[in-house]
């Protein structure tokens, strides 16, 4: 019995020593884990900075595409590019040929590249766009409000240090909700913020400063069209063929719906089920009657177009490859297409970015 008690005490002592050693080891591991986590956070910041620098380098060294006169004004004014007279004439000739093709809306996007990370201004989420029929730029800072900011040009916007500096503040009669508005032919089309079940589209004349029309759209105003951007209850878009509305009928609806609208009367002309899922969608835009839905992940990675829907049935799946955006890590709060410039105006975590699109002809099927 004495031997048993001695052995029991020895085992008890060894167990206490083992528990103490285990506790000290776990404390050390927790400390090392905390240090490692901080190092990883620092590495992530460094990686993000390197990615941004790489994007800027790619922007400066990438080959130039054909550009129209409005493009040249933006590039020369904002980025300081200088060209000879002969090069300008040659590019104008190339653009005229491309423009004659695109005006018939028989092209599909073949590539997306970053033209310029213009600046970082305002809230992490917002929208900026340029009227296709003028040089004016409009900024929607945040996800709701009753004020928008008008700049006379992209150059003026790039020189401003804030949304209020150098801009004309436009007070709207009704508050807007979500960065899903559109500007076309000096008219603003936006979604009215209200508590009702239906969604209301407002047409506002930017020249006269008055509402010229409104339209009720019988869908659930609380159903978001993009799963990763819950602030966007619907997304208005403009392309060569007119005005479009991307929306979801209800929260239970898995796909994004598309409606063609008359920009003069706001009447609905036709509706389609794009068969593009709302899940993991962050934005979309329309080019030549073709919807391009952009997807991402909850933790922002590289945005990509992986669902395309053509209302004219001229695009086949083999013709619509997976398209990646040049920005490697980010999350677009909005993407607005300008049919005159063939460019996208993006808002990415407070950064205002311009993407240039490369095109190819659609295949007739």
Global confidence as pTM: 0.72
CB 172 within 8 A of CB 147: yes
CB 79 within 8 A of CB 116: yes
Give residue 197's pLDDT: 60
Give residue 52's pLDDT: 58
Please tell me which residue, 115 or 195, carries the higher pLDDT value.
115
Report whether pLDDT(95) > 60. no
* Tens digit of each residue's pLDDT (9 = 90 or more) over 242-264: 999 999 988 888 999 999 999 99
Q: Which of the given ranges, 146-160, 194-208, 326-340, has the highest pLDDT on average?
A: 146-160
d(CA 190, CA 173): 12
At 196, is the pLDDT very low, low, confident or very high (cuts 50, 70, 90)? low
At 164, is the pLDDT very low, low, confident or very high (cuts 50, 70, 90)? confident
Contacts of 74 (CB under 8 A, 6+ apart): 153, 154, 155, 341, 354
* Tens digit of each residue's pLDDT (9 = 90 or more) over 279-301: 999 999 999 999 999 998 877 77
What percentage of the chain carries pLDDT values higher than 90? 45
Hey, what are 346's tokens? 């993006």
Q: Where are the beta strands (DSSP E) in the chain?
A: 107-120, 126-130, 137-141, 144-151, 168-177, 182-184, 187-191, 199-205, 210-217, 234-239, 242-247, 255-261, 268-277, 281-287, 290-295, 304-310, 323-324, 332-338, 343-348, 351-361
- Neighbour order of strands in the sheet with 182-184: 182-184, 187-191, 199-205, 210-217
Report whether pLDDT(89) > 60. no
CA distances from 267 to 90, 260, 311 (A): 43, 9, 18
* Tens digit of each residue's pLDDT (9 = 90 or more) over 28-68: 899 988 888 888 878 877 776 666 565 555 444 433 333 33
Give residue 363's pLDDT: 66
Which residue, chain included where needed, has tokens 């239906």? 198
One DSSP character per residue, 116-133 reads EEEEE-S-SSEEEEE-TT
Give residue 333's pLDDT: 93
Q: Give SS3 for 325.
A: coil
Burial class (CB in 10 A: 0-12, 13-18, 19+), 182: buried
d(CA 327, CA 329): 6
């Amino acid at each position: 019995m004495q031997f048993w008690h001695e052995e029991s005490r020895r085992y008890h002592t060894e167990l206490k020593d083992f528990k103490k050693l285990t506790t000290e080891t776990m404390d050390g591991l927790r400390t090392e884990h905390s240090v490692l986590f901080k190092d990883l956070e620092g590495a992530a910041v460094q990686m993000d900075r390197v990615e941004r620098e790489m994007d800027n380098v790619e922007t400066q060294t990438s080959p130039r595409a054909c550009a129209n006169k409005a493009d040249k004004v933006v590039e020369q004014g904002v980025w300081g590019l200088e060209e000879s007279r002969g090069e300008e004439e040659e590019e104008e000739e190339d653009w005229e040929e491309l423009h004659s093709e695109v005006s018939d809306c028989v092209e599909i996007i073949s590539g997306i590249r970053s033209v310029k990370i213009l600046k970082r201004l305002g809230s992490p989420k917002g929208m900026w766009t340029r009227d296709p029929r003028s040089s004016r730029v409009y900024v929607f800072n945040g996800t709701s409000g009753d004020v928008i900011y008008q700049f006379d040009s992209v150059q003026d916007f790039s020189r401003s240090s804030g949304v209020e500096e150098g801009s004309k503040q436009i007070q709207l009669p009704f508050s807007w909700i979500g960065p899903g508005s559109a500007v076309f032919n000096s008219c603003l089309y936006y979604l009215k913020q209200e508590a009702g079940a239906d969604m209301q589209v407002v047409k506002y004349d930017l020249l006269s400063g008055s509402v010229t029309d409104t339209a009720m759209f019988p869908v659930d105003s609380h159903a978001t069209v993009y799963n990763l951007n819950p602030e966007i209850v619907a997304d208005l878009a403009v392309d060569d063929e007119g005005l479009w509305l991307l929306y979801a009928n209800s929260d239970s609806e898995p796909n994004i719906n598309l409606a063609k609208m008359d920009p003069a009367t706001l009447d609905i002309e036709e509706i389609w089920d794009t068969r593009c899922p709302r899940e993991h969608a962050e934005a979309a835009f329309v080019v030549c009657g073709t919807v391009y839905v952009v997807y991402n992940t909850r933790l922002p990675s590289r945005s990509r177009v992986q669902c395309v829907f053509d209302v004219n049935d001229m695009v086949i799946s083999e013709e619509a490859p997976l398209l990646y955006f040049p920005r490697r890590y980010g999350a677009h709060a909005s993407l607005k297409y300008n049919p005159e410039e063939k460019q996208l105006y993006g808002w990415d975590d407070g950064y205002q970015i311009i993407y240039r699109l490369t095109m190819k002809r659609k295949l007739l099927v």
